[in-house]
Chains A and B, each alone.
Chain A
Amino acid sequence: MSTAFVLLGLLARGPRHGYELKREHDNRLPRARPLAFGQVYATIGRLIRDGLIDEAGQDKGAGPERMSYVLTEQGREKLAGWLAAVEEPAPHVQSTVLTKVIVALFGSDDAVAARAYLSAQRRAHVNRMRELTKERSDPQASIADVAAADYAIQHLDADVRWMQTTLDRVDALHREVARS
Chain B
Amino acid sequence: MNDPVLQAEGLVRSYGKTQALRGLSVTIASGEIVAVSGPSGCGKSTLLHCLAGIIVPDSGAVRYRGQPLGEMSEKQRSRLRRTSFGVLFQFGQLVAELPAVDNVGLPLLLGGYQKRIADSKSLEWLQRLGVAEVASALPSEMSGGQAQRVALARAMVTEPEVLFADEPTGALDSLAGEQVLEVLTSHARQRNMTVVLVTHDAKVAAYADREVLLRDGAQLAAEVPA
Contact = CB atoms under 8 A, between A and B. Distances in A.
A and B pair up: yes
Interface of A: 119, 123, 125-127, 129-130, 132-133, 137, 153-154, 156-157, 160-161, 164, 168
Interface in B174-212: 182, 185-186, 201-203, 205-208, 211
A137 B224 contact: no
A164 B221 contact: no
B66 interface: no
B140 to A, nearest CB: 34
Contact of A132 (B206, B208, B211, B226): B206
B224 A133 contact: no
Interface in B207-226: 207-208, 211, 220-221, 224, 226
A177 to B, nearest CB: 22
B224 A127 contact: yes
B39 A164 contact: yes
Contact of B211 (A126, A154, A164): A126
A18 to B, nearest CB: 40
Interface of A is mostly: helix
A127 B206 CA distance: 7
A133 B207 contact: yes
Nearest to B205: A126
Given A126-B202, A161-B202, 20 more contacts: A123-B221, A125-B202, A126-B205, A126-B206, A126-B211, A127-B224, A127-B226, A129-B202, A129-B205, A129-B206, A130-B206, A130-B207, A130-B208, A130-B226, A133-B203, A133-B206, A133-B207, A154-B203, A157-B202, A160-B202
Contact of B206 (A123, A153, A164): A153
A126 B39 contact: no
Nearest to B182: A137
Contacts of B185: 137
B220 A129 contact: no
B186 A123 contact: no
A124 to B, nearest CB: 10
Contacts of B207: 130, 133, 137
Given A119-B220, A119-B221, A129 B39 contact: no
**Residue of A127, A130, A157, A161 with most partner-chain B CB within 10 A:** A130
B52 to A, nearest CB: 25
Contacts of B186: 137
14 contacts: A119-B221, A123-B224, A125-B202, A126-B224, A127-B226, A129-B205, A129-B206, A130-B207, A130-B208, A137-B185, A137-B207, A153-B206, A157-B201, A157-B203
